């Protein structure tokens, strides 16, 4: 059976570091409060001249390098983002040209908020399984700080910018994406949303409508319950026991949500990749950044079983079980 295996990974975080102490100067909060409630102590913020595609480019170049392939070897480009450079062309199309990826290869963006990368990975896997692609590039890239209200302490402490990427390749072996599971429930729109988009026209844009709004406490509860269910679904569908999971690579939104999922899997925290402290919630970029971090520092080894999961605005949620 053909599967998509992970050939290489890459990531990029912008240089500028904003600590909790920096945010204490903007809103009524404290380093202690943010650390205790979220596990975050700093995040990266894009330079004024950078856009989502710039972050995606570096992460993708690093993934291509680690895969030992070049842009011309790629036959599908998917970028997961909710903060694209342009309305169109898609960030993926811009990336296609900048990386000299085969002209004619399909390229498109996926919008599923923080679950975007898992969605993009699942879609790429289906392209590979159907024979429609052999070597996809899948990127999660976000400039979340551009849609943050820096006067709102309930959201501005949580998010950061970054990008992560994987190069996939069709494989006939046992390794690769064993199963992926994608879900959404649009009835939760009012808990986490940005109330403006270009289709509303610029006259509908006031100075706050382009920013994230969230009922954090309610989001937290649904996230914990939903992620517990998706973990069960992934294990059941692949007939895998939780004891077989080597690494949990969760969406990096909040250390307490991550701990709750690890507890469900009875997985000690040293088998969970946690990067939320250094970069906060980078939305669609968070899972591939965490994956790349643990691959590059040697924790994740070939042959190990990985469970990736994410939850985000929509609500959307998903998981992927991968033999690395
Ligand atoms: N600093 C200090 N106090 C803050 C604060 C901040 N940055 N943000 C909120 N508070 C206050 C609230 O105003 C509230 O005060 P009150 O009791 O006087 O009304 C109090 O802290 C408790 O607020 P609450 O929202 O219940 O806190 P919480 O324990 O739920 O933590 C979050 C808030 C946002 C950290 C938490 O709900 C969370 O992480 N939710 C999930 C968010 C998320 O992951 N979203 C993305 C999903 S992909």
pLDDT of residue 312: 98
Residues 33 and 164 in one domain: yes
* Residue after which a domain boundary falls, among 157, 173, 189: 173
- Summarised one tens digit per residue, pLDDT across range 9-31 is 999 999 999 999 999 999 999 99
User: Quick check: 164 and 2 in contact, CB under 8 A?
Assistant: no
Residues 158 and 196 in one domain: no
Residues 137 and 253 in one domain: no
pLDDT of residue 300: 98
Residues 46 and 121 in one domain: yes
Q: List the chain residues with pLDDT less than 70.
A: none
Measured distance CA(124)–CA(79) in Å, rounded = 11
Residues 224 and 158 in one domain: no
User: Quick check: 118 and 309 in contact, CB under 8 A?
Assistant: yes
Residues 84 and 107 in one domain: yes
Q: Tell which residue, 218, 285, 220, has the closest CA to residue 251.
A: 285
* Residue after which a domain boundary falls, among 121, 151, 173: 173
DSSP conformation letters of 222-245:
HHHHHHHHHHHHHHHHHT--GGG-
- Whether 114 is a known active-site residue: answer yes
Cα-Cα end-to-end distance for the chain: 16
pLDDT of residue 141: 98
pLDDT of residue 88: 97
Residues 25 and 84 in one domain: yes
Tell me the CATH number at 288: 3.40.47.10
Residues 190 and 165 in one domain: no
* Residue after which a domain boundary falls, among 173, 190, 217: 173
Residues 55 and 183 in one domain: no
pLDDT of residue 304: 98
Instruction: Verify whether ligand 1 is closer than 6 Å to residue 35 (CB atom).
Output: no
Structural domain containing residue 233: 177-323
Active-site option among 20, 52, 82, 114? 114
Q: Which atom of ligand 1 is nearest to the CA of 310?
A: 48
Residues 125 and 194 in one domain: no
Residues 132 and 151 in one domain: yes
pLDDT of residue 1: 87
- Separation of CA 216 and ligand 1 centre (Å): 6
| Nearest CA residue ID for atom 29, ligand 1 | 37
Residues 46 and 138 in one domain: yes
pLDDT of residue 207: 86
- Separation of CA 207 and ligand 1 centre (Å): 23
pLDDT of residue 38: 98
Question: How many domains are contained in the chain?
Answer: 2
How far from chain centre, in Å, is Cα 119?
9
Token pair in block for residue 205: 């844009």
């Amino acid at each position: 059976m053909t599967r998509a295996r992970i050939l290489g990974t890459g990531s990029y975080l912008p240089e500028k570091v904003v600590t909790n102490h920096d945010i204490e100067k903007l809103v009524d909060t404290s380093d202690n409060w943010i650390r205790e409630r979220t596990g975050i102590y700093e995040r990266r913020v894009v330079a004024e001249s950078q856009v989502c595609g710039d972050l995606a480019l570096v992460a993708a170049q690093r993934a291509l390098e680690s895969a030992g392939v070049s842009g011309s070897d790629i036959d599908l480009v998917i970028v997961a983002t909710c903060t694209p450079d342009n309305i169109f062309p898609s960030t993926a199309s811009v990336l296609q040209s900048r990386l000299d990826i085969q002209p004619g290869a399909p390229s498109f963006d996926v919008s599923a908020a923080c679950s975007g990368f898992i969605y993009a990975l699942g879609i790429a896997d289906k392209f590979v399984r159907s024979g429609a692609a052999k070597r996809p590039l899948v990127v999660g890239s976000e400039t979340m700080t551009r849609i943050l209200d820096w006067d709102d302490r309930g959201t501005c402490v949580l998010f950061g910018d970054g990008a992560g990427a994987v190069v996939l390749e069709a494989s006939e072996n046992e390794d690769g994406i064993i199963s992926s599971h994608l879900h959404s429930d649009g009835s939760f729109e009012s808990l986490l949303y940005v109330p403006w988009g270009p289709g509303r026209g610029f006259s509908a844009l006031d100075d706050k409508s382009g920013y994230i709004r969230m009922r954090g406490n309610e989001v937290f509860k649904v996230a914990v319950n939903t992620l517990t269910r998706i973990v069960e679904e992934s294990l059941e569908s692949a007939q895998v026991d939780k004891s077989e999971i080597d690494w949990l690579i969760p969406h990096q939104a909040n250390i307490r949500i991550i701990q709750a999922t690890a507890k469900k899997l009875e997985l000690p925290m040293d088998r969970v990749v946690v990067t939320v402290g250094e970069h906060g919630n980078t939305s669609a970029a968070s899972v591939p950044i965490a994956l790349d971090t643990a691959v590059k520092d040697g924790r994740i080894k070939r042959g190990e079983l990985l469970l990736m999961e994410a939850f985000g605005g929509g609500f959307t949620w998903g998981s992927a079980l991968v033999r690395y």
